[in-house]
Structure 1
């Protein structure tokens, strides 16, 4: 079946940082006397995971960590600690007219919305499936099923580009075609690209074969 849709990850694909630097950013913002509390909030209370699952808003999450101005720190972190891959815009300018682009991202709802607006990316996406909005995270099967339901696509119509092997394996179980954007040098037996020019070449080759 002809591919019509590209499901694409944000962190480690569109953004260069695969995991981000929010935890170090947070520790740098507080005195060392607060480190035990912060460690507990991240590791035991799982506040970051709860926020990206939609259980906490960005303001609630950052306020519980102790930030006095949560909006400022959301913006400051995203603006100064996350980097848009310079290859994405040229890639999207060409291929968003040939495929439906669907963002499939584990993220805090407000963070994802700010990132796509800040970098002018909203124009490329027909849909945005964000864990904080749909209350589940990759590699949970439910988030892929949600993406298919919302877009009205069959699995066989979709590529899925992600930097996590476990996320790709979960998608493959639904017959979505996985492509590893291998920024982190993971071992993977399937299709691998390391840049947007390589992804473009792969799509062009696939179209020729069809």
Structure 2
């Protein structure tokens, strides 16, 4: 039996339509204006969001430090009501997950990624998830791609990485991974580009045969 190829998929900007999420605007909308200076410092100087995404803070710790009185409810509200699943992904996944090993490769707070998987019923499609908040490294660091290849025990040339960030794709290419830009943000890219999951479906057979 021929070995399955690996499809590495980003969450935000690919599976979820919002390419950078919506959490910072969400937070400023939920606190009074007199709190905005404090929040700006928390994001830009204390790097609380980055620390949560790197696994230095869990979701509850992160949200509590921002001043949310009920961190668990805040997480559910934000992820459920302010992010949009690309419904085409479900069509694409049903067509392809038996043929390819789907692996999530995402910069995210660990608990948030788990919640999104459960909320949208994504677990059935994915062999594995590699989340920055779990492994303490993030895209576009070269080491996360080296880790991914070693952890999955796959050859880089047998992997295709789909992301909406050219910077992330360039780092993956340096590791020998094939790349596809999911064009949410109209970035310039010299490699393969798709605008939706129907185009990705059409591209895959030619790309990894």
- TM-score between both structures, scaled by the size of structure 2: 0.97
What is the CA distance between 1:11 and its match in structure 2? 0.2
The answer to whether the 8 Å contact 2:4/2:99 transfers is no
Whether the 8 Å contact between 1:136 and 1:143 is mirrored in structure 2 is yes
- The corresponding residue for 1:148 is 149
Structure 1 match to 2:42: 41
- Equivalent positions of 1:23-38 (< 5 A) are 23-38=24-39
- Aligned counterparts of 1:77 and 1:58: Cα–Cα separation in 2: 12
Q: Report how far residue 3 of structure 1 moved.
A: 7.0
Distance in 2 (alpha carbons) for counterparts of 1:101 and 1:149: 16
Give the structure 1 partner of residue 78 of structure 2.
77
Is residue 41–residue 47 contact of structure 1 (8 Å, CA) maintained in 2?
A: yes
* Aligned partners of 1:109 and 1:131 also within 8 Å: yes
Structure-1 residue corresponding to 2:60:
59
Map Cα deviations across residues 143-193 of structure 1 (whole Å, 9 max, x no partner): 111211221111010000000000000000011001000110000000000
Which whole-Å CA distance do the structure 1 matches of 2:120 and 2:153 have between them? Answer: 27
Match for residue 140 of structure 2?
139
Q: Secondary structure at the match of 1:175?
A: coil
Aligned to 2:99: 98
Give the TM-score normalised by structure 1: 0.96
Task: Tell me, in whole angstroms, the C-alpha distance in 2 between the residues paired with 1:157 and 1:24.
Answer: 38
Gaps of 5+ in 2: none
SS of structure 2 residue aligned to 1:87:
helix
Match of 1:170 in 2: 171
Find the aligned partners of 2:138 and 2:170 in 1 and give their Cα distance. 14
Distance in 2, Cα, partners of 1:120 & 1:72: 20
User: How many residue pairs are counted as aligned between the two chains?
Assistant: 207
Q: For the residues of structure 2 that align with 1:188 and 1:8, how far apart are their CA atoms? A: 18
Report SS of the residue matched to 1:138: coil
Partner of 1:205: 206
SS at match of 2:98: coil
TM-align CA RMSD: 1.1
Separation in 2 of the partners of 1:23 and 1:30?
Answer: 11
Question: Structure 2 CA distance, aligned partners of 1:206 and 1:151?
Answer: 20
Query: Could you list the runs of 5+ residues in structure 1 that have no partner in the other structure?
Result: none
Deviation at 1:28, TM superposition (A): 1.1
Please say if residues 3 and 158 of structure 1, whose CA atoms lie closer than 8 Å, have aligned partners that are also in contact: no
Check the 8 A contact 1:3/1:156 in 2, yes or no. no
In the TM superposition, 1:112-131 aligns within 5 A as: 112-131=113-132
